[in-house]
Structure 1
Amino acid sequence: MAKAGLTAKYRPQLFKDIVGQDFIKKILSRAAQQNKPANAYLFSGTRGVGKTTTARIMAKAINCLNGPDSEPCNDCTNCHQITKGIFSDVLEIDAASHTGVDNVRKLREDAVYFPMSGRYKVIIIDEAHMLSNAAFNALLKTLEEPPGHCVFIMATTAPEKFPPTVISRCQHYVFKMVHLDDLVTHLRFVLDAEKYEYDPEALILMAKRGAGSVRDSMSILGQVMALGGERVTPQGVREVLGLAGHDVYADFFEDILNKDLVNIHTRINSILGQGLDINFFLQEFASCWRNLFLLSQSGDKADKILSLPGNELEFWKDLSVRIPAPRIHAAWQMVIEEQKSILKSNEPALAMELLFFNLAYLPELLPIGQYTPSRQEMSNPAAAKPADPVEKKSPENIRESLGAREAYSDHKAEKEESCGDFSEKNWPGFVNYCRSKEGAGDSLARMLGSCESIIEQGSLKIVCNQEFIYDSLKRNGRERLISSLIEEFFGSEMTLYIINNAQKKDSSFREKALDHPVVKRLVDEFDSRIIEIKRL
């Protein structure tokens, strides 16, 4: 006979044994103790957080022969039969294989009959979001006016797929992801019960990989224990799960600081060739930058937050002194933002190389400028490298690339020359100022240049001599943009007026054309504008 897995063997049988979910346990336990369960419950949350387990414990608690009490006794006949799944008054179905309206109609028929052995007939519907719309509609009447002896418990990972009419008829409880400390405590309990030795770091690693799910964490633990050996070690966990160790990340950081692109390329190909979990690798890599930032800003106070082994903690402390805080923060943000694009890329190796190469040359790619010296440099100014490109150079734009720095500088100089002088607070100066702004650009400046202006005390009137220029300035938020630029340029808030001074030619014909239903529909559907109207 096959041996029961760890998840089944250590499945909680009491409310107090459920990992996390303290608020929900308290409410359900009190309802069982007072013998006042609700007619319908909806348990939602991610996988492996205890929804179905809680439903089964609730079924035992309200049908226990030694109850009503806050906990099932697990000694009576009813409790034993419910635990084994053979109790006649507790029906558990998987909605994924019972999606049709006929299945729900049968449930409604069963709900009418009184329980044979317990106080309540309990119907547990797992993955209830898989029910069809017709099945939900068939269930509505029963949920609205249920028999007093029947309790419905629906569990789902996708509550957004439920009709609002169903949710409104249930007591809805959201099961949260289990906290890392609670997962570590549970894994420790299981290993102690199994008489296994373990390293605390290995427990943290498995709990992190479980991502808030007790079932996933227990599954990982079962794989590690199946590896053999008398001790659960971080090396064993990483080997089973395909995760990189501390040495891999340490080597990557040294290569990044030394700008050793060849080594970076070799290491990336190595981890891809070993079949490591790229998603988790990038998550841990982002955590490394986060740890560096905490250490650079908080020093020894960050030790209790990081929970790292002594040798690793010393390594990250030394590294946090060598890298300026602005660079650490920018790298941390860059890794987080690029993680999804790497996973979705058709060429993950090239995408990872681009990320790591950018990290190596980050001081020359980002306008860090005259950054604040690191603590090592402040304590020992001579330790700062005189040839460090961050101290020697201050690039002016994030778009500047390593291979086209000179070409971009020439282009920028030409653009600044074409913008002209906008030091004088007049209309030509304002037009040139708009041309120099990133959010405005040449198109807005050209439109404003074709207009006339009247600057009075506290107001600016823009007179448009062309109909389509007037329409363009009034659309797509340009009027709001111009108002903000006016305030920036003139240094005070001014009321903006955009005046249409275009000559009205054959206005009746134009109005008829604009009012035509076909024209209106085309303008609305394509978000277009009428430039010219001619007679045929």
Structure 2
Amino acid sequence: MKHLSLAARYRPQTFAQVAGQEMVVAALSRAAERDSPAPAYLLSGTRGVGKTTIARIFAKALNCEHAPAAEPCNECAQCRKIAAGAHVDVTEIDGASNNSVEDARALREHIGYAPMDGRYKVFIVDEAHMLSRSAFNALLKTLEEPPERVVFIFATTEAHKFPVTIVSRCQHFVFRHLSEDALAAHLVRTLRAEGRDYEDAAVRLIARRAAGSVRDAMSLLDQTLALGGARLDAETTRQVLGLAGQELFTRLLVALSAQDCAEAATTTRDLLQRGVDIGFFIRELAGHWRNLFLLRQTGGAVLPSLALPDDEAAWLRDMAARFSPPHLHAAWQMTLDAQRGITQSPEPAAALELLLLNLALLPRLLPVERLDALTPPGAPRADSAPAGPMPEAAPAVTAGPDREGSPRHEPPARSAERPARHAGADAAPALGDACGEARPAPPAPEPELPSPELPSPATDAGAKPAARQEPDASPRSSPPDWASFCAFCAAEHEAGRQAPPLHALRGLEVEWRPEGLRLHAPARELVHQLEKHRAALEAALAAYCGGRAPALDIVAPRPRRSQNELMAEFSRRPELQPCFELLGASLAHCSERGGNP
């Protein structure tokens, strides 16, 4: 006897047996009951969600001997012929192999004849997006004015490939992915009909692996029952389908929480040796990050909505305690972002290993309250600096990290020196945590000020001081350093005092002049931000510079000029006039660099 797969054996034969798709089922069932079908239907959706199955049920409901009725009887001769694929008036066409204009013309000629055995002639075109444009055009007039008692049903997984002229002539129903609960209920009904014992965790695992497709779920269940034992259990299901087990996820999460790169790499190697499905592993990992984040944020209040077994819920609670909420949120986002890239990469194993190593090192990239939390005991702090001005030859760290994450270094302006720090006060936060890049301004002559150099105030970014150390009223003897000012603003924000937001200080070109401070903004939006926070900026400058704020000049970027305007300006220069008059030269191209043509 020929073996039938579970998907074919338990294919729904009535609308009531269809899993999910309630809206589509209700619309077609009512049309059959009222005997008022549309001339054409377009059923679109992902694979294995019931498009062809519902089309056959609809064909049986229209041609049933007890029609019009909401459901086919499946007992009359008409229903049995359609179920066996032998009905003369119900034609199923494979769009992939009958996609030419000649096939469409032959179909159009066949449509003109009245039904021979049933009440309606039904044409079910599967994978209809494979039809050629000429074939679609040949059907346009037929779909708009079809003969009486003719119904077209187009089934496709790629509705975006349909011409708009075809879609406008059809009633379009979009099939949804089935939820995990709906798939699990369908699998349970099948297992009970088969008389097989099962574990709920195994059923949930197959439903999750099927990703909303009923046919995929039935095929996976058939495969697991064929290769597994008498009872469907979770461990056997994972082995048969090549899925990672809880033991492996435990090893991985413990390694990531401990920032153990070696163990993360070892786990990747074990995954590959076991033949684990990398795509589904990434999906499961993203699901674990989601559950861990929700548990970490809400505790046990979210457990009923997660619908997890008791042992898995206890395991997730234990794992959630090992991570901070920002770590879990960032890991969840990184895993989702990398999912498509890993599955489509020519080297998916290497891409997966890189993701796991990045997740292991993630806490070092997260913002922390104290910079010295990342510094080993006994090691010098990265943001500490000796009291007094720095040597002029020392490189200055710009205000933003480069693409690789390491700070960029540029030589400082020749006349700029780092301001000294108060004795006994901690250094200001690292510049990369304070604001964006501040490009060094051109060297300016130092102002001749009578008072000696005054150290700049700074506070520890990790601890809020009880009161601000009021600076001396005497002015500075050298231009202040913008990086130190950004760090000072960060400390002021931490202490809850008035200071401009750090995002308004990023990307500026800073020019300290004897008459004041000039800020060149790269965009007009940043000019609006600076003007909005001018009062806070001037107050912070006054506190930083010893009680007297320098004159503040915010320079907007010069509007870009067209090439014609640049060429007109360039051609008016006196030194070029002999070239134009004697040599007959002309300008072919002119570009703006540094604000000048």
Aligned: 1:140 with 2:140: yes
Instruction: State the match for 1:241 in structure 2.
Output: 241
Tell me how far apart the structure 2 counterparts of residues 205 and 415 of structure 1 sit (CA, whole Å).
49
Aligned: 1:279 with 2:279: yes
Tell me how far apart the structure 2 counterparts of residues 101 and 417 of structure 1 sit (CA, whole Å).
66
Aligned: 1:193 with 2:193: yes
Q: Against the structure 1 CA distance between its residues 256 and 157, is the aligned structure 2 distance closer, same or farther, given a 3 Å change threshold?
A: same
Instruction: State the match for 1:418 in structure 2.
Output: 440
Aligned: 1:309 with 2:291: no
Q: Against the structure 1 CA distance between its residues 370 and 10, is the aligned structure 2 distance closer, same or farther, given a 3 Å change threshold?
A: farther
Tell me how far apart the structure 1 counterparts of residues 346 and 92 of structure 2 sit (CA, whole Å).
43
Tell me how far apart the structure 2 counterparts of residues 242 and 324 of structure 1 sit (CA, whole Å).
31
What is the TM-score when the length of structure 2 is the normalising length?
Answer: 0.69
Tell me how far apart the structure 2 counterparts of residues 346 and 439 of structure 1 sit (CA, whole Å).
42
Asked if the contact 2:92/2:123 (under 8 Å) is kept, the reply is yes
Tell me how far apart the structure 1 counterparts of residues 504 and 346 of structure 2 sit (CA, whole Å).
32
Instruction: State the match for 1:170 in structure 2.
Output: 170
Aligned residue for 2:292, secondary structure, equals helix
Instruction: State the match for 1:366 in structure 2.
Output: 366
1:134 partner amino acid: S
Asked if the contact 1:368/1:394 (under 8 Å) is kept, the reply is no
Deviation at 1:222, TM superposition (A): 0.5
Asked if the contact 1:483/1:496 (under 8 Å) is kept, the reply is no
1:348 partner amino acid: P
Deviation at 1:257, TM superposition (A): 2.2
Deviation at 1:2, TM superposition (A): 1.8
1:71 partner amino acid: E
2:45 partner amino acid: G
Instruction: State the match for 2:51 in structure 1.
Output: 51
Larger displacement relative to structure 2 (233-242 or 97-106): 233-242
Asked if the contact 1:366/1:398 (under 8 Å) is kept, the reply is no
Larger displacement relative to structure 2 (480-489 or 89-98): 480-489
Tell me how far apart the structure 1 counterparts of residues 153 and 243 of structure 2 sit (CA, whole Å).
39
1:350 partner amino acid: A
1:165 partner amino acid: T
Q: Against the structure 1 CA distance between its residues 91 and 486, is the aligned structure 2 distance closer, same or farther, given a 3 Å change threshold?
A: same
Larger displacement relative to structure 2 (195-204 or 265-274): 265-274
Aligned residue for 2:321, secondary structure, equals helix
Deviation at 1:367, TM superposition (A): 1.6
Query: Residues 467-522 of structure 1: CA distance to partner in whole angstroms, max 9, x if unpaired?
Result: xxxxxx9xxx9445544454455779x997957899956579x9xx9xxxxx9xx9
What is the TM-score when the length of structure 1 is the normalising length?
Answer: 0.77
Deviation at 1:249, TM superposition (A): 0.3
Query: Residues 248-285 of structure 1: CA distance to partner in whole angstroms, max 9, x if unpaired?
Result: 10111112223332222222111112211011111111
Deviation at 1:314, TM superposition (A): 1.2
Larger displacement relative to structure 2 (409-418 or 171-180): 409-418
1:292 partner amino acid: L
1:253 partner amino acid: L
Q: Against the structure 1 CA distance between its residues 529 and 485, is the aligned structure 2 distance closer, same or farther, given a 3 Å change threshold?
A: farther
Q: Structure 2 matches for 1:13-412, cutoff 5 A?
A: 13-369=13-369
Tell me how far apart the structure 2 counterparts of residues 149 and 81 of structure 1 sit (CA, whole Å).
19
Larger radius of gyration: 2
Aligned residue for 1:106, secondary structure, equals helix
Larger displacement relative to structure 2 (478-487 or 74-83): 478-487
Instruction: State the match for 2:456 in structure 1.
Output: none
Tell me how far apart the structure 1 counterparts of residues 285 and 401 of structure 2 sit (CA, whole Å).
23
Tell me how far apart the structure 2 counterparts of residues 209 and 360 of structure 1 sit (CA, whole Å).
26
Tell me how far apart the structure 1 counterparts of residues 505 and 48 of structure 2 sit (CA, whole Å).
47
Aligned residue for 2:153, secondary structure, equals strand
Provide structure 2 residue ranges, at least 5 long, that are not aligned to the other structure: 385-398, 411-428, 442-479, 484-501, 513-517, 538-553, 581-585
Q: Against the structure 1 CA distance between its residues 79 and 168, is the aligned structure 2 distance closer, same or farther, given a 3 Å change threshold?
A: same
Tell me how far apart the structure 2 counterparts of residues 187 and 240 of structure 1 sit (CA, whole Å).
17
1:240 partner amino acid: V
Q: Against the structure 1 CA distance between its residues 190 and 101, is the aligned structure 2 distance closer, same or farther, given a 3 Å change threshold?
A: same
Asked if the contact 2:400/2:408 (under 8 Å) is kept, the reply is no
Q: Against the structure 1 CA distance between its residues 275 and 263, is the aligned structure 2 distance closer, same or farther, given a 3 Å change threshold?
A: same
Asked if the contact 2:523/2:556 (under 8 Å) is kept, the reply is no
Tell me how far apart the structure 1 counterparts of residues 285 and 21 of structure 2 sit (CA, whole Å).
30
Larger displacement relative to structure 2 (359-368 or 227-236): 359-368
Q: CA RMSD in A?
A: 4.4
Tell me how far apart the structure 2 counterparts of residues 531 and 38 of structure 1 sit (CA, whole Å).
66
Tell me how far apart the structure 2 counterparts of residues 160 and 92 of structure 1 sit (CA, whole Å).
22
Provide structure 1 residue ranges, at least 5 long, that are not aligned to the other structure: 372-383, 424-435, 450-454, 463-472, 514-518
2:133 partner amino acid: N
Tell me how far apart the structure 1 counterparts of residues 311 and 377 of structure 2 sit (CA, whole Å).
29
Q: Against the structure 1 CA distance between its residues 488 and 33, is the aligned structure 2 distance closer, same or farther, given a 3 Å change threshold?
A: same
